[in-house]
Amino acid sequence: MNIGYLYAAAAFILWGVLPVYWKHLGGVPATQLVAHRVIWSILVLLPLAWLTGNAGSIRAACTTPPLLLRQAIAAALVSANWLGFVWAVTHGRMIESSLGYFLNPLLSVLLGVFVLGERLRPLQWLAIAVAATGVAWLAFQYRHFPWIALYLAVTFCLYGLAKKRTTLNALSSLSVETMLMLVPAVAFLVAEHRAGRGAFGSLGGRDELLIAMSGVITAVPLLCFAAAARRIPLSAIGLMQYLGPSLQFLLGLFVYGEPFDAGKLIGFAIVWTALAIYAIDGLGQLSAAARRSRLRAA
């Protein structure tokens, strides 16, 4: 079996169980957790970039204003997404956050229409319409608009668009983004400690070790994902990405006992139906492309 599939599974499984990690740090404000994640990540990413020969591309990016601007936009979006995700996990909204990542592929397709001028096939339009119906149903069931799900989906989609415009590989790009977030993160934590609200240094040894390990848990799944992307088709990665939100959903439901009744199950089932339609359309397009390739070869 192609080892790329194992790398992809490792990346998405790690991202899927990551809520357990943040849940253990629920007593620390989400803003501080994100700032610490930036600081500890840079201590892992820069040595990795140097060891893998990516230091030159990072230096070049830092001296190329247009590329640096795109990376700054990506940095703002990914930090906003991190903040929303950590807040949701530590406030008992894990199931709702999983919905955001289920919706992400469909919103990405819609973004391609309005931003990149792409044209959708009929089944893709159907998938988006069905997903919108599911979100409307869930809004009714939750008695409020599922804003955290839409927030996570929109910020991650826009982050994906920003990444699409960069020429850097995954490790170099994330390293530059993290460097750009470093000064604000340090300044924020210093201000929090001076105000007596700083968590790090006042927690037990285990919790402080967990915070320090946030750099590793950021880098490892990223490297697995990068290794998978070089070895297996993007279509396979697109299907395997549902491992992450599926695990988040199961954790929220069965481990942390978040509220989930029959009405919400119907809403999620509608969204899952939309994803099935989207996947069937994608597989059909891949099959047609393979047939055309065989015909050309013949």
The pLDDT tens digits of the residues spanning 199-235 come to 776 666 788 888 889 888 888 887 787 778 777 766 6
The residue behind tokens 């490790």 is 171
Residue 249: C-alpha distances to residues 28, 33, 84, 111, 199 (Å)? 23, 22, 16, 25, 29
Q: Is the pLDDT of residue 148 over 70?
A: yes
Hey, which of 92-96, 195-199, 286-290 has the most confident mean pLDDT?
Answer: 92-96
Contact in structure between 241 and 106 (CB atoms under 8 Å): no
Q: Is the pLDDT of residue 18 over 60?
A: yes
The residue behind tokens 């089944």 is 123
- Total structural domains within the chain: 1
| pLDDT level of residue 107 (50, 70, 90 thresholds) | confident
Contact in structure between 192 and 244 (CB atoms under 8 Å): no
pLDDT of residue 283: 76
3-state secondary structure of 54: coil
pLDDT of residue 286: 67
Hey, which of 115-124, 132-141, 199-208, 260-269 has the most confident mean pLDDT?
Answer: 260-269
Dist CA 274 CA 277 (whole Å)? 5
Q: Give the pair of three-digit tokens for residue 255.
A: 């481990």
3-state secondary structure of 279: helix
Residue among 97, 73, 99 nearest 19 (CA):
97
Q: Could you tell me the residue range of the domain that residue 105 belongs to?
A: 3-297
Mean pLDDT of 120-133: 87
Q: Give the pair of three-digit tokens for residue 17.
A: 């169980």
Dist CA 14 CA 221 (whole Å)? 6
Q: Is the pLDDT of residue 80 over 90?
A: yes
Q: What are φ and ψ of residue 91, in 5° steps?
A: -120, 25
Higher confidence at residue 236 or residue 96? 96
Higher confidence at residue 204 or residue 73? 73
Residue among 3, 4, 7, 20 nearest 247 (CA):
20
Contact in structure between 100 and 150 (CB atoms under 8 Å): yes
Contact in structure between 45 and 216 (CB atoms under 8 Å): no
Dist CA 210 CA 190 (whole Å)? 20
Of all residues in the chain, what percent carry a pLDDT higher than 90? 27
Contact in structure between 217 and 14 (CB atoms under 8 Å): yes
- The rounded Cα 162 to chain-centroid distance in angstroms is 13
User: Residues near 112 by Cβ (< 8 Å), separated by ≥ 6?
Assistant: 118
